[in-house]
C-alpha cells in the first residue's frame, strides 16, 4: 500500500527522534561520565549527529510532504503532530547545515572551557570561546528572526517556549520586580522575629545522601529500570523518556541543597517518563515547551517537597538516614530551614522568594547580549551590578557570579525566562490539582504521591504537545497563566504560616 504524505512524515520523524535521543545520551555522558580528554572527539560526534538530524528535517521534500499532508484524512492527535512537524521544519530551514555544525562545535568547546573557568573563578579564560559562540548564536537568531518574522530574542525564546514573546515576559517580570522588594522586606522582618532554623550537624557522607535521594525518588514514582542518578558539575535532567538521566552535586557539610536538587530533577524526569507512549518518536509526543517542563520540576521541589505535609513524612526518614538526634531534625525546624528566605549568590540554591530576581537578571543580560547592547567582556561587571540592585549582594568571585550557570556556555540562549514562568505555572497547576483531588495533600503527608502523579499524568504529562502551552493550562486549571496565583502562594506560605 502506498504511504500517504502524513505517513511518510511520521516515518521520517521517527528516525529523526531516534538520532536526537542518541545525541541526548551522548550529551549526558559528556557532562557526567566522559573523561576530559574525550571533549574534542565528542564535540565532533555531536556536531555530526546534529548535521544528520538537520539534513533529515530540512530535506527538500519535507515542505512538500507537509503541504500534502494537510489534505490527508487526519484524526485524533495527527493534526497536532502535523502542526508540530511544521513548526520544527520552519525553524530548522532558517539555518544552514554549516551554521548548525559550527554552533554545535562552539557549544561543546565553550562548555568544556567553562568547566575549568568555573573551578578557577577565571571568567577571562572563557571569553574568547564564549565570544565566538555568542556571535554564532546571534547569527542563528538573525536567520530565525527573518524566517519567523520575530525579534532576535523572540526567535531564540521560541525554541524553548513556542509562542513566547519578550513583550509578555516584560509585563510579568516588571510586575514581579515591583512586588518582590516590599514583599521580601516583610518576609525578612517576619522571619527575624522567629527562632532561626538550625542546620542539622554533619558530616553527611555522599553515599548516604545518594541513598536518601534514591529513596525519595522511588517514593515519588521514579522508575530505576528507566533511569539513573549521577553526579555532574551542574544538576540537570537528560537522556530520553525511556532512559531518563538525572544528575546532582553533593556537599558533605549540607545535605539540604543536594536533596532538593534531586527532587527538582525528579520532577523533570517524571514528566519525561509520563509523556504519551503511543506517540514516542513523534513531535506531538514530546514535552510542550520549557515553562511546562520547569513547572513540573518546581511543582515537585517547591510546591510539594517544601511543604509542611511533605516534611512531616520526610523528617524521620532524613533523621534515620544520617542517624541524627535532637530538635534540628523535627519537621517544624526542617520546614523553617527549607522556607528560610535569604538573598544569596547561587540561583539553584535560591529560596522561592528571591529566585525570580536571579531569573530577571539573566533574562535582561541575555537580551542585551543578543541584541548587541553588551559584549561578553562586559558580563561580570553588569552581573555584579544587577545582583547588587536586585538582591543587595556582590558576588565575591565570578564562580559565585556569572560562571555559576551552564546555559550560556552550552548555547542555551533564551531559556532563562522559562524558570520563573515555570514557577508561576507550578503554583497554578498544584492549586488546581489539590482542588480537583482532595486526597493529594493527605497523601503527600503519608508519602503517597500517587494521587498527585495520576492527576499530573492525565492533565499535563500525558498530553505531550497535543495542546499549545496556553491551552494546556486553561484545560488543566480553567484559566491562562495568572501571576496573582503565584503571588498569593508566596503570601500564604511566607506571611501567613
Q: Which positions ≥6 away from 392 have C-beta within 8 Å?
A: 343
H/E stretch holding 237 reads strand 237-240
Cα angle for residues 104, 164, 244 (degrees, 5° grid):
50
CB-CB contact of 411 with 358 (8 Å)? no
The 10 Å CB-count burial string (b at 16+, else e) for 136-146 is: bbbebbebbbe
Catalytic-labelled residue, pool 20, 265, 272, 301: 265
Cα angle for residues 89, 95, 98 (degrees, 5° grid):
130
Query: For 464, left (φ over 0), alpha (ψ -120 to 50), or beta?
Result: left
Up-side HSE of residue 342: CA atoms within 13 Å toward CB?
12
Q: What is the DSSP string of 433-448?
A: HHHH-TTHHHHHHTT-
Cell of 285: 509526543
As a whole number of angstroms, the distance between CA 433 and CA 451 comes to 9
What spatial distance separates the first Cα and last Cα of the chain, rounded to whole Å? 66
DSSP 345: S
3-state helix, strand, coil in the chain (%, to 5): 70, 5, 30
As a whole number of angstroms, the distance between CA 231 and CA 216 comes to 17
CB-CB contact of 133 with 382 (8 Å)? no
366 tagged catalytic: no
- Residues carrying an active site annotation: 265
Amino acid at each position: 500500500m502506498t504511504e500517504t504524505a502524513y505517513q511518510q512524515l511520521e516515518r521520517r520523524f521517527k528516525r529523526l527522534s531516534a538520532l536526537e535521543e542518541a545525541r541526548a545520551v551522548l550529551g549526558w555522558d559528556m557532562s557526567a561520565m566522559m573523561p576530559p580528554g574525550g571533549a574534542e572527539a565528542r564535540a565532533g560526534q555531536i556536531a555530526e549527529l546534529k548535521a544528520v538530524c538537520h539534513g533529515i528535517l530540512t530535506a527538500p521534500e519535507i515542505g512538500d510532504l507537509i503541504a500534502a499532508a494537510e489534505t490527508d484524512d487526519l484524526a485524533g492527535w495527527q493534526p497536532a503532530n502535523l502542526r508540530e512537524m511544521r513548526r520544527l521544519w520552519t525553524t530548522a530551514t532558517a539555518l544552514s547545515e554549516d551554521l548548525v555544525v559550527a554552533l554545535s562545535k562552539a557549544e561543546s568547546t565553550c562548555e568544556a572551557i567553562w568547566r575549568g573557568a568555573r573551578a578557577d573563578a577565571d571568567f577571562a579564560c572563557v571569553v574568547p570561546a564564549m565570544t565566538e559562540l555568542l556571535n554564532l548564536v546571534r547569527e542563528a537568531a538573525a536567520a530565525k528572526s527573518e524566517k519567523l518574522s520575530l525579534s532576535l530574542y523572540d526567535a531564540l525564546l521560541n525554541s524553548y517556549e513556542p509562542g513566547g514573546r519578550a513583550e509578555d515576559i516584560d509585563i510579568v517580570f516588571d510586575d514581579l520586580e515591583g512586588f518582590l522588594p516590599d514583599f521580601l522586606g516583610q518576609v525578612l522582618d517576619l522571619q527575624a522575629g522567629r527562632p532561626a532554623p538550625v542546620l542539622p550537624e554533619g558530616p553527611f557522607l555522599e553515599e548516604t545522601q545518594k541513598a536518601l535521594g534514591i529513596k525519595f525518588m522511588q517514593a515519588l514514582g521514579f522508575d530505576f529500570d528507566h533511569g539513573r542518578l549521577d553526579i555532574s558539575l551542574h544538576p540537570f535532567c537528560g537522556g530520553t523518556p525511556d532512559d531518563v538521566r538525572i544528575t546532582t552535586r553533593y556537599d558533605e557539610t549540607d545535605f539540604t541543597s543536594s536533596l532538593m536538587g534531586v527532587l527538582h530533577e525528579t520532577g523533570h524526569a517524571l514528566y519525561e517518563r509520563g509523556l504519551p507512549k503511543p506517540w514516542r518518536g513523534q513531535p506531538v509526543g514530546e514535552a510542550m515547551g520549557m515553562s511546562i517542563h520547569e513547572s513540573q520540576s518546581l511543582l515537585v521541589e517547591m510546591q510539594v517537597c517544601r511543604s509542611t505535609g511533605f516534611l512531616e513524612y520526610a523528617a524521620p526518614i532524613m533523621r534515620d538516614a544520617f542517624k541524627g538526634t535532637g530538635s534540628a531534625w523535627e519537621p517544624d525546624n526542617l520546614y523553617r530551614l527549607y522556607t528560610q528566605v535569604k538573598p544569596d549568590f547561587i540561583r539553584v540554591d535560591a529560596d522561592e522568594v528571591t529566585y525570580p530576581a536571579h531569573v530577571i537578571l539573566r533574562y535582561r543580560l541575555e537580551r542585551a547580549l543578543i541584541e548587541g547592547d553588551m559584549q561578553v567582556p562586559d558580563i561580570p561587571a553588569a552581573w555584579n551590578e544587577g545582583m547588587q540592585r536586585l538582591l543587595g549582594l556582590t558576588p565575591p568571585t565570578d564562580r559565585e557570579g556569572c560562571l555559576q550557570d551552564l546555559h550560556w556556555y552550552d548555547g542555551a540562549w533564551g531559556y532563562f525566562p522559562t524558570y520563573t514562568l515555570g514557577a508561576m505555572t507550578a503554583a497554578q497547576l498544584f492549586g488546581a490539582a489539590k482542588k480537583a483531588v482532595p486526597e493529594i495533600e493527605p497523601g503527600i503527608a503519608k508519602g503517597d504521591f500517587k494521587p498527585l502523579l495520576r492527576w499530573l499524568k492525565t492533565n499535563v504529562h500525558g498530553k505531550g504537545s497535543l495542546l499549545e502551552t496556553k491551552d494546556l493550562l486553561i484545560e488543566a486549571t480553567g484559566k491562562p497563566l495568572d501571576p496573582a496565583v503565584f503571588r498569593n502562594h508566596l503570601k500564604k506560605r511566607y506571611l501567613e504560616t
